[in-house]
Structure 1
């Protein structure tokens, strides 16, 4: 940080990337600055040029009389206009500059004020770009998202257990009803009702939980063959000698995966270790071991990324990073 104003808000900072073989083309010092409105909102941000070709610019945000942001511009107009409703919701925005502007319109439920539909129109054909509609259950959980595009319509469906936890998420063939195997809370779809989606990215994920809310299992279903489902099983906590009750019951200690493909089956295992404060001290992922060290303030001090006993990255005071 390079400065603060009288209200202790940061007015500037610098980010320095050291010159190493891994940072070729990125090394250097990048300077940022911020200014504020009389009410404390961010008025402008000065951004540095980057080696990738982005030019330096000052991004300015403007506000209405209620201190709601209405426009944002820098080298171009990012948000050219914003219309708000009586309750402060964004009803419509205009982005970009002519002749490539995009207008986004939002519609809300009159009683719950939940967002029910968003439509994006652009200045050039095709019009509109997409229309997204949202469905909810009585307590406000999203149960469906239907995205209508020029290429077709894709619907995502969601079901929850009685505790309000997501237990199934899948793509449906735009049936508008998200068919399930039963009407019971948390019921999922029949495999035949899972759609491939507009671009072939259809999915069906299922989740299971223990009594204290930890996720114990993830199943990534194959859309056509149950034998090709992938599963991830999660284990939490650890048991100490002489103590039958597990300690740190919310810390993830192991992930056992079963990954299936036609003609092959892989069962990778990842493990995690923690200190008494809950900081991660070791991760074994895909056969690679990382060791992390922490100071008494629970600040990360070093990481050994290849398990050779020598830290590869050290963290200095004020969050500075030094490659070793």
Structure 2
């Protein structure tokens, strides 16, 4: 990093690419004047007499002009300058209970306005109702309503209690109700049906058990966590069958166990359900970048790696044929350089290799993906 005489950041680069740094310049009043990004190019900002950004011009020469109200809140944005095409408009203070708050935002696409309006606020400044309005021509073309209204109520602690959703197409209007426990954690969500019927938490707020859906199509999930780090270590998912009143072991859909390294990265996922026995294994480099991922023959361990010392494959397609063996390489900037999708039998002639190229021929956009080559 480098700084100017006023202590403002003026340059930043990476040891792997010193020739194409990020840079910033400032005017005499210390306001950001230009910002140069090796990939996105140069952005120039000009200010009005009250130090508010008035025009911003990007590397493609596109300029946006911003108009402010007397409180310096953005009021209108135009393309090119103060007489250009309107891009967006903002209003404030007009919603019930919303003094000092945004009332509406209007975005223009091809000259047509799309507006989101807040109809009112609670005493805690939470929206009680919003209306989304579409251009009539768009609504007619697509056969949808020209406006949609949403209503909200809240608990005494400010959490969403009810949300009234408008009818959309063939989906009828609906009121969603959310219930919470004494700690403010959601217990259930219902509307025209039970979407979340039950939730049980640990003393740390971790979800231990949940019930989704309504009879006779409920799904139960049970989870356990590492006592020291709090990571998810085991999760079981069961589906309901006719006549069930609670979890039945024979209705197991998925049973997954998870293992982690000291940095918190997932090193293994084991699936045991519905005739499937699968262990996925993952290794990382010192920077935490994924280097190898494979489905192991050994269902109890990943220590053997995807290949033995003699090159024999330790990866397997698994009982359902979804197994894989992938290896990754990166450049010094952290960009993916190579992906090798290895043949599960260890036949290197059948590997699928994808290489990644960055930057344009003229040296610009050095960190932008420009080409994929697969062999």
TM-score scaled by length of structure 1: 0.65
Change (3 A) 1:230 1:113: same
1:22-80 superposed Cα distances (whole Å, 9 cap, x missing partner): x98765546251423343333233334444x4333222211122111111111111111
Q: Determine the C-alpha separation between the residues in 2 that align with 1:17 and 1:77.
A: 35
Q: Output aligned runs, 1:51-70, within 5 Å.
A: 51=169, 53-70=170-187
1:100 is aligned to: 217
Does 2:289 align with 1:165? yes
1:230 is aligned to: 352
2:373 is aligned to: 257
Change (3 A) 1:54 1:222: farther
1:195 is aligned to: 316
Name the SS for the 1:129 alignment partner. strand
Which of 129, 135, 138 does residue 253 from structure 2 map onto?
A: 129
Are the equivalent residues in 2 in contact too, given 1:195–1:202 (CA < 8 A)? yes
Q: Which runs of 4+ in 1 moved over 6 A?
A: 17-20, 23-26
2:229 is aligned to: 112
Consecutive unaligned residues in structure 2, runs of 5 or more: 1-115, 242-247
Name the SS for the 1:192 alignment partner. coil
Name the SS for the 1:227 alignment partner. helix
Deviation, 1:237, is 3.2
Does 2:117 align with 1:2? yes
Q: Determine the C-alpha separation between the residues in 2 that align with 1:17 and 1:220.
A: 48
Q: Relative CO higher for 1 or 2, CA cutoff 8 Å, sep ≥ 6?
A: 2
Q: Determine the C-alpha separation between the residues in 1 that align with 2:227 and 2:146.
A: 51
1:168-210 superposed Cα distances (whole Å, 9 cap, x missing partner): 1222235221231689xxx9x9672222134322222222111
Are the equivalent residues in 2 in contact too, given 1:30–1:48 (CA < 8 A)? no
Change (3 A) 1:44 1:203: farther
Are the equivalent residues in 1 in contact too, given 2:266–2:282 (CA < 8 A)? yes
Higher-Rg structure is 2
Name the SS for the 2:215 alignment partner. coil
Q: Determine the C-alpha separation between the residues in 2 that align with 1:146 and 1:116.
A: 10
Does 2:327 align with 1:209? no
Consecutive unaligned residues in structure 1, runs of 5 or more: 241-245, 260-324
Are the equivalent residues in 1 in contact too, given 2:306–2:314 (CA < 8 A)? no
Deviation, 1:236, is 2.3
Which of 165, 179, 185 does residue 47 from structure 1 map onto?
A: 165
Deviation, 1:19, is 7.4
Name the SS for the 2:301 alignment partner. coil
RMSD: 3.2
Q: Determine the C-alpha separation between the residues in 1 that align with 2:301 and 2:331.
A: 29
Number of residue equivalences: 246
